[in-house]
Each structure stands twice: as structure tokens, then as C-alpha cells.
Amino acid sequence: MSKADVLFINMCNEILEKGYSSEGQIVRPKWEDGDPAHTIKSFGMVNRYNLQEEFPALTLRPTAIKSAFDELLWIWQKKSNRIEDLNSHIWDEWAGEDGTIGKAYGYQLAKKYKFPQGEMDQVDNVIWQLKNTPYSRRIMTNIFNFADLTEMNLEPCAYSMTFNVTGNKLNAILNQRSQDILAANNWNVVQYSLLVYMLAQVCGFEPGELIHVISDAHIYDRHVPIIKEMISRPQFPAPKVTLNPEITDFYQFTVNDIKVENYVNNPQIKNIPIAI
């Protein structure tokens, strides 16, 4: 069975059984009808995914792996904040009149800084270090830029990646300040697992571990019955996910370079209410 399913079920049970409810507090998010969107949360959730063992896609419901990959490429490869550069419409509600999401996500990764090896952006710096100083303990990115927060249409949720090479394996830690577990958890896990796959391939390593650290892991009140039904579903083996082995340049990957095989899963959950 998929180990990602087991981790997800354990996480959801911990939140539901031991989490803290925001009922009675003033909260920012609201439902479409205007009611406050309360949550049950756990602080400091940590999940470890061994990418050597399997690709961590849920089978409790399908994750749109190629769409998740497309968004990852939009942020990390295109370094774009323009919604017209993204094939899906998941960012449309956050776009301003200029068609961008402000100085967030891809915009931050495109900013150039003066590094010891020259001026470059954060992504190029990660690639340079993995190829030239792979055992450095300073290989990381951070897009939670306080100087630009007021010009971001949404402050970054997944804000930092730290990379670490052990032997011939590339490991990474994804830091996330907040996560809607039902709507976004496996989406982000799939994305950043693929990022590790990409960087490992072009820099001469094997994918190792992805550690996902969530400061505020929460389930919205209107998601509780959906989550309970979802984690009671049957589980299936994880799918096989591979990248085109001929790609050696990070900037040459496309959505067509990902192959998903044997993805057996439960039915999709539709019409999930989203708090805004």
C-alpha cells in the first residue's frame, strides 16, 4: 500500500483527535457564504518521504500529478507570477488587474542576488552549489521576503527549501508556514518530490528523502466529514513516476517529460469548499 496514504491517515487522525479548535476565536478566513472558516490544527507536523522507496502520491483520492508539476515549473523554472503562464486556473482568484499574483512565488525566485560565485537568482544558486559544492550546508531558498510582503497577493505558504547531499543522494526539507490538509497536502508533497527528482537528475544524484515540515497543519470545519470518509477508503500501491532521463538541463523539463504509471486510486472528491 502507498506509504503516503499511511502518513496522511496518521496525520489526519492526530489532528482530529488531538488538535486545537479555533471555535470561539476571531479568524481571518471565511466561507463563500460569509461564515467564519474555523479549523482544527496541530502545530509542527513533520512527515518524512523516502523517495528511494516509492513516489509519495495518495491513492485515497487521485492527485493531479501533471497539473502539480505544471505549477511547480511555473514557480521554479519559469519563475513567473503571471497567471497566463500557468496552464491551470488555480491562481486566478489571487490575480490582480495586471494579471499577476504580485511579488510572490516565482517573482521571488527570479530576483538576483550577489553570491560568492557571482550574481544569480536562488534557483541558479542551488544548481550551481549542487554541481560545485554539493556537501555545503548552505544550499537553500527562501521566498518569504519581508520587504515585498505588502505587494504579494498571497503570502507564500510553502516558503523555504533546504537541500542536503548525503553520499550520492539529494535530500530536501520543505518548510511550510500553513497548510489546508485536504486541499493542498499531497499536492505540495508531489510537487516538491518532483523538484528533488529534477535537481537530482541534472546535478548527478539520486533522489533521497523529502521532509515536509508544516507549522500550522489544519483541517477546516467543513472538511472534517470529507476527511473522515477519505481516510476510511481502501488503499492501493503507489504509482510509478519517472522523468525523461534524457533531460540534463533543469530549464528543459516540460510537463510532457513526466510519466505516471500504474496509478490506481479511489474516486476524486469534487466540490471541496475552499476558505478565502
Question: 35 vs 22, 68, 216, CA distance in Å?
Answer: 13, 30, 21
Q: What is the SS3 string spanning the chain? A: CCHHHHHHHHHHHHHHHHCEECCCCCCCCECCCCCECCEEEEEEEEEEEECCCCCCCCCCCCCCHHHHHHHHHHHHHCCCCEHHHCCCCCCHHHCCCCCECECCCHHHHHCEEEECCEEEEHHHHHHHHHHHCCCCCCCEEECCCHHHHHHECCCCCEEEEEEEEECCEEEEEEEEEEEEHHHHHHHHHHHHHHHHHHHHHHHCCEEEEEEEEEEEEEEEHHHHHHHHHHCCCCCCCCCEEEECCCCCCHHHCCHHHEEEECCCCCCCCCCCCCCC
Q: Does 61 appear as a known binding residue?
A: no
Please indicate if the annotation marks 113 as binding a ligand: no
104 carries a ligand binding annotation: no
Is 252 flagged in the annotation as binding? no
What does the CA dihedral 57, 60, 62, 65 come to, rounded to 10 degrees? -10
* 138 known member of a binding site: yes
The answer to whether 275 is a known ligand-binding residue is yes
Q: Is 157 a catalytic residue?
A: yes
Integer distance in angstroms from the first to the last C-alpha of the chain?
Answer: 34
Q: Which of 157, 224, 226, 247 is flagged as catalytic?
A: 157
| Annotated binding residue 219 | yes
Binding-site residues for dUMP, in ranges, read 137-138, 177-180, 188, 218-220
Binding region: 137-138, 177-180, 188, 218-220, 275
Residues with active-site annotation: 157
